[in-house]
């Protein structure tokens, strides 16, 4: 390894990082307040509600977090538009671009195969690009999740308004879908996303890139060789090389990031043991 | 022709019947036995019954002289058929065959009832009248001849014998009536003169001639001209002006005991208080402690303001058993018998759990009159100082029924019923609201006639509780009568909820109380478990479990409470347009479409809710599928990732 100074590369801009900050805040709030209602017969849920004074406080927090969710959902389109303009490519080309697009493509399919081989020790580490397939899945899952949970949530938030256009029994369906999709989302984020991103041995205990926005050049070369090659080929490497992150940001990343991971993990363990007690209902 | 033929047939039939009857009579005669035949065996003094070796000897002379001497043995011993053999064990003679009216009276009274209950000591006809030796009552040899009656009755009503307790004849203590009988005076009163004979009932029964109400009439049958006799002790004018003030005969003249005294003249209240106004007057009590005999008339005004003082009662009216020959005269006076005057309530008390425990089971912890009413300071119920003023009732009952007190220990109660009661809407009304009409212990349980709730006669038994509550909650009763929870005529009431099933008993709370709201779901769930289960799947049900959850709709908010009707009833709060109105209580702009939300729907019910079922299956498959794929992905990744980490470490070390 180069014993000289470490070179840093910008991966996420400030806007993207702020969006993710809001995702964390709102998601943890939604998960905690929502699960308290879903498992309201459990003592931990009742204890939490009493800590907040009333289940109505939980309800208000849930709705505030929902508004934040809609905020980042629509706010992220600004980011997409920004990146689209910066890329200088036509819209469709931008979306399905092999290197920068978020839509899965054939190459991702290939990489899934290569990854399995790699896992089994029958091949080298795939030369991942800017977005791995599991990162794309995370992104699209939020897309789908916000749409489904958001719509059903709005129906349950404004049931009288909703039933002006929908039959009353839709609220029954909305309850099931909202609750089960939320269980899926929390389960997925607090186990799979946490593991893939932070808790797997290579990254343990935290990948702070989402807070600091930067990775070292070595990391980039090792983890996303294809992106590195593209940057070199397109001669844009100098554009993305940046200063080391300020010390306060690194501290913040650890404190905030590890807190969020801890909260998420404790929540998912609680849910897991509650489900073990009753089964999926 | 035809007609004559028919007549002929009838004649033949008649003849046949007569023949048959003749044969029957003949056979009867053949089996019947004459008295001589019976006495052939039974006049032998040594004859015994095979089964138990008891004597079945009948003295022919005694029998011939008895009132039944002219009768056939067979007319009483109807089953003694057979020429020289009869059933080894003859049935008991039924006197009621001839003495029908007396038998009917007897069945309804103490002796008759005891007989019906198969009590060993219960007397039957022969116990008083004898068997073959029955003589007319005016025969001096008869057991029921007036001079013999005390001896006959005392065979059972002797102190040590059964029938016992009060009213037993004290040995060697015959009163003036008894002395007269001993002296052969046939007009003196004996037991039956005052108590009746075949119709004898307990003195606590208002029908008894010695009951509180009838006693005076009974005594005056012999003792006429009372005002004149009593002119020294009772002002003659009182007989006219205020006869209620005149004590009962037995309050001064003991009914059974030995007595030759003129009480009030000698034993005035001043006479009693000569000793009893001394605060140091004590005697040892039965438990080895000290019993104060002090009666404080000044400092505590114990007696002055009481009901008994107002009625003009003197000491000896309650403590009548004074004996001149004793020193002091009150030495063996014994406890006060309140039942002398308060026979009706005493009868209730005797049949209550308190009375049964104290008198029947000899439990000294069970309260007697004085434990609730006080001794000398018995004040009217509406006096706030009275122990039984509604305000004081919970504390009075708590003295035994609070947790850790004797009644609570005996019943093994884990909760403190009285303090629970004080937190209830009734207790709060009484204690904090000062509302004397708020139900206290006695309003539900009764005062004298308290019975455990398991007793079907108890006012708090499930079958009677509604009636008890409706004494005050009359309007609720009207609503309930029209609800689905009202048992239809002839239905099994135990299948329908009683007030306490929803409201509980001692801890009863106001319907709007958060704690009641929380309890309500459990109460309904007792009979409607499926509905409760599905309710808990809904937003309302889930929120109801959290702090502040009492605000959301509970069972009664939608279904109504006392006037609850079936959902299928057009008048129900949840039918058609009514449902919109009901939902609008909380969702002001609710519409018909809104009301089609299914509150009690389970996504497991494929038949009723296929939409929910398939939604749930789809969502759960998605959930399980995602976790399965990524679970495997993650598990495969772990060893690879570990290796990568180790490699990184090696590289950096290098």
Q: How many interface pairs between A and B have CB atoms less than 8 angstroms apart?
A: 140
Which residue blocks in B234-350 are alpha helix, DSSP H?
Answer: 236-241, 249-252, 263-266, 269-276, 307-310, 315-318, 343-350
Higher pLDDT, A126 or B15: A126
Q: Does the CB of B543 have a partner CB in chain A at under 8 Å?
A: yes
B66 — pLDDT class (breaks 50, 70, 90): confident
Nearest CA in chain A to B642: A201
Q: Does the CB of B648 have a partner CB in chain A at under 8 Å?
A: yes
Q: Which of A245-249, B15-19, B236-240 has the lowest mean pLDDT?
A: B15-19
Q: Which pLDDT score, from 0 to 100, does residue A59 have?
A: 95
Tell me, yes or no, whether A146 lies in a domain.
yes
Q: Which range has the top average pLDDT, A30-34, A84-88, B39-43, B318-322?
A: A30-34
Percent of chain B with pLDDT over 90: 24
pLDDT 10s digits, B606-621 = 999 999 999 999 999 9
Tell me, yes or no, whether A222 lies in a domain.
no
Distance from CA of B631 to the nearest CA of A (A): 8
CB contact under 8 A, A1 and B596: no
Chain B residues whose CB is inside 8 A of the A175 CB are: 538-539
Distance from CA of B520 to the nearest CA of A (A): 15
Percent of chain A with pLDDT over 90: 72
What is the DSSP secondary structure assignment for residue A130, as one 8-state letter?
S
Chain B residues whose CB is inside 8 A of the A171 CB are: 597
Mutation to test the A interface, candidates B541, B547, B605, most A Cβ within 10 Å: B547
Is it the case that residue B28 has pLDDT exceeding 50? no
Chain A residues whose CB is inside 8 A of the B546 CB are: 36-37, 40, 45-46, 49-50, 54-55, 58
What is the rounded average pLDDT of the residues B286-311? 72
Tokens of B134: 């029955």
Tell me which residue of B167, B481, B497 sits closest to B343, measured CA to CA.
B167
Chain B residues whose CB is inside 8 A of the A168 CB are: 593-598
B150 — pLDDT class (breaks 50, 70, 90): confident
What is the rounded average pLDDT of the residues B576-605? 91
Distance from CA of A82 to the nearest CA of B (A): 32
Domain count, chain A: 1
Is it the case that residue B582 has pLDDT exceeding 50? yes
B448 — pLDDT class (breaks 50, 70, 90): very high
Residue A54 sits in a domain whose CATH number is: 1.20.950.20
Which residue blocks in chain A are alpha helix, DSSP H?
Answer: 14-38, 43-51, 55-87, 91-95, 106-119, 133-157, 159-165, 169-187, 194, 209-212, 217-223, 225-234, 237-240, 247-278
CB contact under 8 A, A167 and B596: yes
Higher pLDDT, A105 or B160: A105
Q: Does the CB of A261 have a partner CB in chain B at under 8 Å?
A: no
Q: Which pLDDT score, from 0 to 100, does residue A1 have?
A: 39
Q: Which pLDDT score, from 0 to 100, does residue B11 have?
A: 55
Q: Which pLDDT score, from 0 to 100, does residue A135 have?
A: 92
B162 — pLDDT class (breaks 50, 70, 90): very low
Q: Which of B591, B595, B619 has the CB atom closest to A180's CB atom?
A: B619
Pairwise CA distance, residues A236 & A148, whole Å = 39
Tell me, yes or no, whether A42 lies in a domain.
yes
Nearest CA in chain A to B580: A160
B415 — pLDDT class (breaks 50, 70, 90): confident
B83 — pLDDT class (breaks 50, 70, 90): low
CB contact under 8 A, A159 and B587: yes
Q: Which pLDDT score, from 0 to 100, does residue B20 have?
A: 52
Chain B residues whose CB is inside 8 A of the A118 CB are: 640
Q: Which residues of B346-360 are buried (b: 16+ CB within 10 A; e: fewer)?
A: bbbbbbbbbbbbbee
CB contact under 8 A, A41 and B598: no
Chain A residues whose CB is inside 8 A of the B598 CB are: 168-169, 172
Distance from CA of A218 to the nearest CA of B (A): 11
Is it the case that residue B623 has pLDDT exceeding 70? yes
pLDDT 10s digits, B470-516 = 999 999 999 999 999 999 888 888 889 999 999 988 889 888 888 88
Tokens of B258: 């030995």
B4 — pLDDT class (breaks 50, 70, 90): very low
Asked whether B388 and B408 are in contact (CB, 8 A), the reply is no
What is the rounded average pLDDT of the residues B151-161? 70
Is it the case that residue B209 has pLDDT exceeding 60? yes
Pairwise CA distance, residues B129 & B106, whole Å = 14
Residues of chain B numbered 239-278 and touching chain A (CB < 8 Å): none
Is it the case that residue B245 has pLDDT exceeding 50? yes
Pairwise CA distance, residues B397 & B310, whole Å = 27
- Residue A55 is part of which domain span? 12-203+250-278
Is it the case that residue B121 has pLDDT exceeding 80? no
CB contact under 8 A, B623 and A118: no
Q: Does the CB of B628 have a partner CB in chain A at under 8 Å?
A: no
- Exposed (0-12), middle (13-18) or buried (19+): which is B405, by Cβ within 10 Å? middle
CB contact under 8 A, A163 and B597: yes
Q: Which of A59-63, A117-121, B256-260, B433-437 has the lowest mean pLDDT?
A: B256-260
Distance from CA of B569 to the nearest CA of A (A): 21
* Average pLDDT taken over every residue of chain B: 81
Q: Does the CB of A175 have a partner CB in chain B at under 8 Å?
A: yes
Distance from CA of A138 to the nearest CA of B (A): 11
Is it the case that residue B587 has pLDDT exceeding 70? yes
CB contact under 8 A, A37 and B596: no
CB contact under 8 A, A120 and B636: yes
What is the rounded average pLDDT of the residues A104-109? 90
Q: Which of A1, A176, A192 has the CB atom closest to B603's CB atom?
A: A176
Is it the case that residue B264 has pLDDT exceeding 50? no
Percent of chain A with pLDDT over 70: 98
Distance from CA of B617 to the nearest CA of A (A): 10
What is the rounded average pLDDT of the residues A190-194? 93
CB contact under 8 A, A160 and B539: no
CB contact under 8 A, A280 and B620: yes
Q: Does the CB of B590 have a partner CB in chain A at under 8 Å?
A: yes
Tell me, yes or no, whether A53 lies in a domain.
yes
Tell me, yes or no, whether A241 lies in a domain.
no
Q: Which range has the top average pLDDT, A86-90, A189-193, B265-269?
A: A189-193
B248 — pLDDT class (breaks 50, 70, 90): confident
Q: Does the CB of B614 have a partner CB in chain A at under 8 Å?
A: no
What is the rounded average pLDDT of the residues B365-376? 87
Is it the case that residue B443 has pLDDT exceeding 50? yes
- Name the pairing type of β-strands A241-242 and A214-216: unpaired
Chain A residues whose CB is inside 8 A of the B641 CB are: 200-202
Q: Does the CB of B226 have a partner CB in chain A at under 8 Å?
A: no
Is it the case that residue B23 has pLDDT exceeding 90? no
A65 — pLDDT class (breaks 50, 70, 90): very high
B649 — pLDDT class (breaks 50, 70, 90): confident
Tokens 């990489």 belong to residue = A111
Distance from CA of A192 to the nearest CA of B (A): 7
Chain B residues whose CB is inside 8 A of the A36 CB are: 546
B233 — pLDDT class (breaks 50, 70, 90): low
pLDDT 10s digits, A1-30 = 344 578 999 999 999 999 999 999 999 999
Mutation to test the B interface, candidates A48, A117, A118, A202, most B Cβ within 10 Å: A202
Report the Cα–Cα distance between both ends of chain B, in Å, rounded. Answer: 147
Pairwise CA distance, residues A31 & A54, whole Å = 17
Pairwise CA distance, residues B303 & B296, whole Å = 8
Q: Which pLDDT score, from 0 to 100, does residue A264 have?
A: 95
Is it the case that residue A152 has pLDDT exceeding 90? yes
Q: Which pLDDT score, from 0 to 100, does residue B339 have?
A: 79
Tokens 């008295």 belong to residue = B35
Q: Which pLDDT score, from 0 to 100, does residue B265 have?
A: 47
Q: Which pLDDT score, from 0 to 100, does residue B171 have?
A: 47
Chain B residues whose CB is inside 8 A of the A202 CB are: 641, 644-645, 648
Domain ranges of chain B: 2-96, 123-343, 510-600, 613-654
Is it the case that residue B163 has pLDDT exceeding 90? no
B16 — pLDDT class (breaks 50, 70, 90): low
Asked whether B573 and B565 are in contact (CB, 8 A), the reply is yes
Asked whether B499 and B414 are in contact (CB, 8 A), the reply is no
Distance from CA of B566 to the nearest CA of A (A): 21
CB contact under 8 A, A118 and B590: no
Mutation to test the B interface, candidates A37, A45, A63, A119, most B Cβ within 10 Å: A119
Q: For chain B, what is the total number of helices (H) and then of strands (E)?
A: 36, 2
- Exposed (0-12), middle (13-18) or buried (19+): which is B429, by Cβ within 10 Å? middle
């Amino acid at each position: 390894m180069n014993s000289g100074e470490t070179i840093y590369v910008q991966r996420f801009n400030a806007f993207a990082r702020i969006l993710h900050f809001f995702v964390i805040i709102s998601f943890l709030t939604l998960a905690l307040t929502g699960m308290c209602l879903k498992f309201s017969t459990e003592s931990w849920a009742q204890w939490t509600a009493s800590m907040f004074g009333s289940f109505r406080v939980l309800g208000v927090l849930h709705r505030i977090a929902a508004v934040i969710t809609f905020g980042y959902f629509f706010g992220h389109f600004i980011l997409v538009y920004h990146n689209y303009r910066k890329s200088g490519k036509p819209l469709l080309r931008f979306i399905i671009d092999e290197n920068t697009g978020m839509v899965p493509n054939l190459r991702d399919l290939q990489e899934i195969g290569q990854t399995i081989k790699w896992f089994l020790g029958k091949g080298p580490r795939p030369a991942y690009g800017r977005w791995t397939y599991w990162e794309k899945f995370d992104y699209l899952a939020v897309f789908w999740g916000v749409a489904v949970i958001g719509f059903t949530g709005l129906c349950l938030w404004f049931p009288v308004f909703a039933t002006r256009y929908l039959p009353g029994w839709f609220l029954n369906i909305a309850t099931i879908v909202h609750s089960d999709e939320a269980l899926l989302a929390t389960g997925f984020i607090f186990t799979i996303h946490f593991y893939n991103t932070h808790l797997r041995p290579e990254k343990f205990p935290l990948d702070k890139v989402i807070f600091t926005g930067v990775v070292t050049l070595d990391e980039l070369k090792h983890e996303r060789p294809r992106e590195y090659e593209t940057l070199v080929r397109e001669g844009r490497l100098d554009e993305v090389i940046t200063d080391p992150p300020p010390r306060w940001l690194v501290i913040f990343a650890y404190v905030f990031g590890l807190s969020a991971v801890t909260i998420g993990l404790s929540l998912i363990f609680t849910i897991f043991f509650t489900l073990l007690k009753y089964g999926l209902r | 022709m035809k007609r004559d033929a028919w007549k002929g047939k009838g004649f033949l039939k008649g003849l046949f019947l007569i023949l048959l009857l003749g044969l029957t009579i003949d056979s009867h005669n053949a089996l019947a036995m004459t008295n001589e035949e019976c006495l052939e065996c039974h006049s032998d003094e040594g004859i015994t019954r095979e089964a138990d070796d008891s004597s079945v000897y009948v003295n022919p002379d005694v029998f011939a002289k008895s009132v039944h001497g002219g009768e056939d043995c067979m007319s009483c011993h109807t089953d003694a058929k057979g020429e020289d053999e009869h059933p080894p064990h003859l049935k008991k003679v039924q006197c009621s065959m001839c003495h029908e009216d007396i038998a009917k009276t007897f069945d309804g009274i103490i002796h008759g009832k005891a007989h019906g209950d198969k009590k060993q000591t219960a007397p039957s006809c022969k116990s008083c009248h004898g068997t073959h030796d029955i003589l007319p009552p005016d025969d001096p040899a008869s057991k029921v001849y007036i001079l013999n009656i005390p001896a006959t009755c005392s065979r059972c009503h002797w102190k040590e014998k059964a029938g016992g307790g009060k009213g037993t004849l004290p040995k060697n203590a015959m009163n003036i009536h008894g002395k007269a009988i001993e002296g052969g005076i046939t007009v003196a009163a004996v037991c039956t003169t005052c108590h009746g004979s075949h119709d004898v009932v307990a003195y606590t029964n208002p029908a008894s001639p010695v009951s509180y109400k009838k006693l005076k009439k009974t005594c005056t049958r012999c003792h006429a001209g009372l005002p004149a006799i009593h002119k020294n002790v009772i002002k003659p004018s009182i007989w006219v002006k205020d006869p209620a003030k005149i004590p009962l005969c037995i309050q001064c003249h003991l009914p059974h005991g030995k007595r030759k005294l003129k009480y009030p003249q000698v034993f005035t209240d001043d006479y009693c208080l000569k000793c009893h106004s001394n605060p140091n007057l004590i005697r040892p009590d039965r438990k080895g402690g000290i019993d104060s005999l002090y009666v404080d008339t000044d400092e505590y005004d114990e007696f002055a303001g009481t009901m008994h003082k107002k009625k003009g009662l003197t000491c000896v009216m309650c403590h009548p058993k004074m004996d001149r020959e004793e020193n002091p005269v009150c030495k063996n006076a014994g406890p006060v018998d309140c039942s002398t005057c308060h026979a009706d309530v005493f009868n209730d008390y005797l049949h209550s759990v308190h009375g049964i425990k104290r008198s029947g089971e000899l439990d000294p912890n069970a309260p007697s009159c004085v434990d609730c009413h006080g001794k000398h300071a018995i004040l009217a119920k509406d006096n706030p100082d009275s122990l039984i003023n509604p305000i004081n009732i919970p504390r009075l009952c708590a003295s035994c029924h609070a947790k850790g007190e004797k009644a609570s220990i005996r019943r093994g109660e884990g909760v403190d019923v009285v303090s629970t009661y004080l937190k209830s809407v009734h207790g709060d009304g009484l204690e904090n609201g000062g509302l004397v009409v708020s139900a206290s212990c006695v309003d539900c349980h009764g005062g004298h006639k308290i019975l455990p709730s398991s007793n079907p006669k108890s006012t708090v038994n499930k079958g009677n509780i509604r009636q008890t509550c409706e004494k005050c909650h009359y309007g609720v009763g009207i609503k309930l009568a029209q609800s689905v929870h009202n048992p239809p005529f002839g239905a099994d009431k135990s299948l329908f909820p009683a007030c306490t099933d929803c409201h509980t008993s001692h801890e009863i709370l106001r319907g709007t109380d958060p704690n009641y709201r929380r309890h309500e779901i459990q109460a309904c769930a007792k009979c409607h478990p499926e509905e409760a289960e599905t309710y808990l799947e809904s937003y309302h049900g889930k929120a109801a479990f959290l702090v502040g959850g009492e605000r959301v709709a509970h069972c009664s908010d939608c279904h109504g409470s006392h006037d609850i009707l079936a959902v299928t009833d057009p008048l129900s709060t949840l039918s058609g347009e009514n449902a919109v109105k009901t939902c609008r209580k909380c969702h002001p702009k609710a519409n018909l479409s809104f009301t089609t939300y299914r509150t009690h729907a389970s996504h497991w019910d494929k038949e009723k809710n296929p939409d929910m079922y398939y939604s749930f299956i789809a969502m759960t498959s998605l959930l399980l599928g995602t976790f399965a794929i990524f679970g495997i992905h993650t598990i495969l990744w772990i060893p690879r990732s570990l290796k990568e980490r180790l490699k990184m470490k090696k590289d950096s070390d290098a």
